[in-house]
């Protein structure tokens, strides 16, 4: 299989060649991952962000904020959406109001983090909805413009980015209503086994049943080259 460029933290480009499970020494393979997430992944964003994504790649909020530091670095957690220029094109970072909804009960749902440190961690990730999930999140953006979904095949995504992929059984950026307990441990890397993910919270006594995937996150940026290779635009 072709070697591809992957942007890691610090915007350093490395080459990554997808390997078989036996060579990686990992427990989860591409088929198991695809089955867990329903075959496809979707990243939901405003249509106004698309020109910048096509030019610069799909970048994490932390990367965009660092580039904007000479202008006006957005606060974290963000109480409002923030729009600024990046590479000559506008980019909008979503607000983090669903997380701020839990600011009066942080100790009840955050383990090892304050609200600010958790929001910073969120900004270091790109988030994807498995299968047909994400409708509520899409609806939350419509007051700011047209919403689009960037969709990709789960197995192709796994082949390129498995080393930086995490699974979560909750929406880690929302603390509305009765917020689920979370800490760094809520993210299970795909280098683990399916059972390790499904039993993660039950082993901690937090839930009675086995978990399913609600959210997939990526701990690196996606280059423009790989964006064109992986994603189609819906909406």
> What predicted TM-score, i.e. pTM, was given to this entire model?
0.85
Surface-to-core class of residue 177, CB atoms within 10 Å of its CB (0-12 exposed, 13-18 middle, 19+ buried) = exposed
- The tens place of each residue's pLDDT in the chain, 235 residues long, gives 344 444 444 433 333 344 444 444 458 999 999 999 999 999 999 999 999 999 999 999 999 988 876 455 557 898 888 888 888 898 988 888 889 999 999 999 999 999 999 999 999 999 999 987 655 665 555 566 688 989 999 999 999 999 999 999 999 999 988 899 999 999 999 999 999 999 999 999 999 999 999 999 999 999 999 999 999 998 6
**CA distances to 21, 33, 52 from 30, in Å:** 9, 5, 30
- Helix orientation angle between 30-37 and 154-161, rounded to the nearest 10 degrees: 130
CA of 26: how far to CAs of 16, 23, 30, 32, 158, in Å?
15, 8, 11, 12, 12
A 10 A CB-CB count for 43 gives 21
Rounded to a whole number of angstroms, the CA Rg of the chain reads 17
Cα distance between residue 75 and residue 82, in whole Å = 9
């Amino acid at each position: 299989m072709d070697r591809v460029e992957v942007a890691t933290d610090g915007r350093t480009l490395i080459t990554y060649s997808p390997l078989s499970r036996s060579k990686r020494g990992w427990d989860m393979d591409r088929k198991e991952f695809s089955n867990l997430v329903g075959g496809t992944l979707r990243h939901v964003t405003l249509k106004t962000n698309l020109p910048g994504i096509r030019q610069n790649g799909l970048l994490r909020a932390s990367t965009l904020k660092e580039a904007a530091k000479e202008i006006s670095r957005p606060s974290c957690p963000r109480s409002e959406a923030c729009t600024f220029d990046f590479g000559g094109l506008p980019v909008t970072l979503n607000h983090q109001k669903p997380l701020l909804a839990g600011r009066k009960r942080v100790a009840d749902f955050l383990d090892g983090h304050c609200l600010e440190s958790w929001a910073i961690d969120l900004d270091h990730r790109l988030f994807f909805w498995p299968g047909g999930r994400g409708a509520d999140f899409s609806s939350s953006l419509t007051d700011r413009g047209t919403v689009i979904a960037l969709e990709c095949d789960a197995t192709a995504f796994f082949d390129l980015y498995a080393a930086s992929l995490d699974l979560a059984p909750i929406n880690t950026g929302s603390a509305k209503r009765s917020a689920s307990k979370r800490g760094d441990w809520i993210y299970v890397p795909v280098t683990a086994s399916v059972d390790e993910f499904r039993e993660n919270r039950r082993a901690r006594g937090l839930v009675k049943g086995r978990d399913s995937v609600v959210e997939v996150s990526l701990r690196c940026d996606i280059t423009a080259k790989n964006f064109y290779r992986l994603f189609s635009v819906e909406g």
